[in-house]
Chain A
Amino acid sequence: MKLKELVEKLDLEVKSASGNLETEVTGGYVSDLLSDVMANCKKGDIWVTLQIHPNIAAVGTLKELAGIIINNSREPEEETLKKAEGEALPILISKLPAFELVGRMYELGISGLR
């Protein structure tokens, strides 16, 4: 599924790299621990997290993720968005809590296993 479809179906707010939503989302991962994401997230994953600081943009870039969804309506820091924009990495916001958000993505066919 393309990131663009996820944005539409889950009513996500696009905060950065709005021109880069054609990426194929090939899996998903949820974690608020950066090293866990570095170790276990895969290229093309959508990453769900509560973290909002600039380092998430570096992690998303290094892991070549499809994008990052920040749950519970948390607003990313300005510097985070600046960095994400520079790396063409989409950061999205969902109003939903992580459990519900992930459940809905799973229903749409996105899996945490490959």
Chain B
Amino acid sequence: MVEESSIFGKGFTVRGGDFANAGEVSCKVRNILKEIGINSDIIRRVAIVAYEAEMNVVMYAREGTLSFEVTPDRIKLVMEDEGNGIENIELAMQEGYSTATDEIREMGFGAGMGLPNIKKNSDDFKINSIVGKGTRVEVTIST
């Protein structure tokens, strides 16, 4: 997905069920963007998108990749996972809807805010999911 105009791009692996390291990839993404001097309001939006996308893989998928790419006018994030997929995307986009287990909820996750939070902080948001295979979320944030 790296385009010619890309200034920077990188991908990270996120492991499903790995709550101990959950959030680390988002922190890495944030630190890189900070280093290359991206505006802090943009970084805050990217951080929310990356965090929620990362947590979705940790909570629901077997494994996923979070990659981002910076070009002069936008940041693109792609989250792709191998997992159960989402049966009803419309429902999943509704705030408060969640299929999280009680165990996950007790940790304060699975509030049904993840995908809505991602969408709210995106300028462009695309989601595709195949049940039994996995989910792909693509987000663009204009800089």
Contacts and interface: CB of A to CB of B under 8 A. Distances in A.
Interface of A: 32-36, 38-39, 43, 49, 51, 53-55, 57-59, 61-64, 79, 87
Secondary structure class of chain A's binding surface, majority of residues: helix
Contacts of A64: 44
7 contacts: A33-B108, A35-B109, A35-B117, A39-B120, A51-B107, A54-B22, A55-B107
Contacts of A49: 108
B52 interface: yes
Given A55-B22, A55-B107, A38 B52 contact: yes
Nearest to B120: A39
Interface string B4-37: 0000000000000001111110110010000000
A35 B23 CA distance: 12
Contacts of A58: 22-24, 26-27, 51
Contacts of B23: 54-55, 57-59, 61-62
